[in-house]
Amino acid sequence: MTQNGKNQILDQLSITYNRTNLLKIISEEQGNLIDAKKFEIRKKRLKTEIDELIQNLLQEWIGDAKQLKIKIINSNSEISKSIKDIQSKIKLAENIVKALGFIDDAIQLAANLFP
What is residue 115's predicted lDDT score, i.e. its pLDDT? 56
Note every long-range contact of 35-38, with CB atoms under 8 Å and residues 24 or more positions apart, other chains counting: 35/96, 35/100, 38/96, 38/100
Q: What is the pLDDT of residue 47?
A: 94
Print pLDDT tens along the chain (115 aa): 676 777 788 899 999 999 999 999 999 999 999 999 999 999 999 999 898 888 777 555 555 677 778 888 999 999 998 898 888 887 888 888 889 999 998 888 888 876 5
For residue 41, what pLDDT is reported?
A: 96
Q: How many domains does the chain have?
A: 1
Q: State the alpha helices, DSSP H only, in the chain.
A: 3-29, 33-55, 65-87, 92-111
65 lies in which domain range?
3-111
Which pTM value belongs to this model?
0.67
User: Measuring CA to CA, how many Å separate 107 from each of 2, 41, 72?
Assistant: 22, 11, 9
